[in-house]
Amino acid sequence: MFTLAPMNPSSTHAYDRARTTPRALATEAVHAGRDDLARQGLHAPPIDLSTTYPSYDSRGEAARIDAFAADGALPEGTPVYGRLGNPTVARFETALARLEGTESAVAFASGMAALSAVLLARASTGLRHVVAVRPLYGCSDHLLTAGLLGSEVTWVDPAGIADALRPDTGLVLVESPANPTLAELDLRAIAHACGSVPLLADNTFATPVLQRPVEHGARLVLHSATKYLGGHGDVMAGVVACDEEFAGRLRQVRFATGGVLHPLAGYLLLRGLATLPVRVRAASATAAELARRLAADPRVARVHYPRIGGAMVAFEVHGDPHEVIAGVRLVTPAVSLGSVDTLIQHPASISHRIVAEPDRHGAGVSDRLLRMSVGLEDVEDLWGDLDGALGTDRRSRRSVSAPGPSRTADGRPLVSRPGGR
């Protein structure tokens, strides 16, 4: 457990300014963005669906809009217009910033909208070059490779980041654990290699429950909030946690491009954060046990499971991965991740189909790789479904028992990773 330092009061909203006592992650997950409710006689946060807000002071409105145009700071007082900001969404932004340990956070309609806003913010200052490390989420890879927003990307191994930097480099982009191989990077070493160039770390898989990239030197933290932050497969959103200076620029991009988050989605995300630590830890325990059993199964060629833990498991099969997808009955065969139910998908067919095959293979995304997002079901039920879906191995399949897992010195289950990571 760790505690979180208070946010910079200049970047919070009035309802969150009075609280200054550091709180544990689990407490922040429940209370951040809600601290004013009891004083208002409320228990559940209200949903503000207004698109516009009346004001009889047009001169004051002009001054507030001019201030926003200057630095992207949220207008003081009554909101102005939905694209400038929404009170319900602001509660989620405040809460996520608290959990990630940043000054601010800016929410968007999707994770790709959030990444696009970062690229546009950097390109607007003439910094269009991006250095990136594979693998990334397939659509993130495609956005960079295709240059859809006028960016130019240089793909490197982590050791090559410093040499790839140019005067017009505006961003270094990494994902750890990576999608879909769960490869882990040394974020602190990468941040050092970036020098003055901002490091953006996609923290979708780890969530702030397992890792807070800003503590390792990242300036920007990206989430597809559709995944673990929402946690129930019923909201699409993205968010960037960062310092207030960068947040101001992102708000300006969001206002100009319209990638705003709907207030109902903001409400659902705030509700999702309240149970995030409980969900992540419970699903992670099940995932670790499933990874252990898969690693011992002769039908499985290789298991990928991150050292920091988590609820994602990737594994390569000796047989046909499409037969495994077709064979599950309890596990949901669907793209996406982070929901309360377990999902499985074939990255080469779906999430990373848009990445050219040589690039996929070069990043370790084999055609036999399956990615599984473990939910909150009972481990025995999940294993029974996977065992049936894996079928009978023709090379003298042996039964796989389920003894208690071996554990590391810190109590985490020990999972074999054939051939290294």
Residue 128, domain CATH: 3.40.640.10
pLDDT digits (tens, 9 = 90+) for 114-160: 999 999 999 999 999 999 999 999 999 999 999 999 999 999 999 99
CATH of the domain at 363: 3.90.1150.10
- Of residues 380 and 395, more confidence is placed in 380
Are 98 and 38 within one domain? yes
The tally of domains found in the chain comes to: 3
Helix (H) or strand (E) holding 105: strand 104-108
Do 98 and 41 share a domain, yes or no? yes
Is pTM, for the whole model, over 0.75?
yes
Q: What share of the chain in percent tops pLDDT 90? A: 86
Residue 399 predicted with pLDDT over 90: no
Q: Mean pLDDT for the chain?
A: 90
Provide the pLDDT confidence category of residue 368 given band limits of 50, 70 and 90: very high
Query: Is residue 412 one of the residues assigned to a domain?
Result: no
**Which domain covers residue 328, as residue numbers?**
282-390
Residue 407 within any structural domain of the chain: no
Model confidence band, residue 37 (pLDDT cutoffs 50, 70, 90): very high
In a shared domain, residues 286 and 370: yes
Cα 119 versus chain centre, distance: 17
Helix (H) or strand (E) holding 378: none
Per residue in 108-146, is it b (16+ CB within 10 Å) or e — as a string? Answer: bbbbbbbbbbbbbbbbeeebbbbbbbbbbbbbbbbbbbe
pLDDT band at 405 (very low <50, low <70, confident <90, very high): very low
Domain assignment of residue 325, yes or no: yes
Active site residues: 83, 137, 202, 227
Specify the pLDDT at position 76.
Answer: 85
| Residue of higher predicted confidence among 198 and 11 | 198
255 is a domain residue? yes
Q: Do 101 and 129 share a domain, yes or no?
A: no
Domain annotation covers residue 10? yes
- Asked if residue 417 belongs to a domain, the reply is no
| Per-residue model confidence (pLDDT) at position 14 | 44
Complete DSSP assignment for 346-374: -TTTTTTTTS-HHHHHHTT--TTEEEEE-
Q: Specify the range with the lowest mean pLDDT, choosing from 6-10, 67-71, 223-227.
A: 6-10
- If asked whether residues 150 and 188 sit together in one domain, one would say yes
Q: Beta strand 104-108 with 238-242: parallel, antiparallel or unpaired?
A: antiparallel
List, in sequence order, every beta strand (DSSP E) within 3-44: 3-4, 23-24
pLDDT given for residue 391 in this prediction: 93
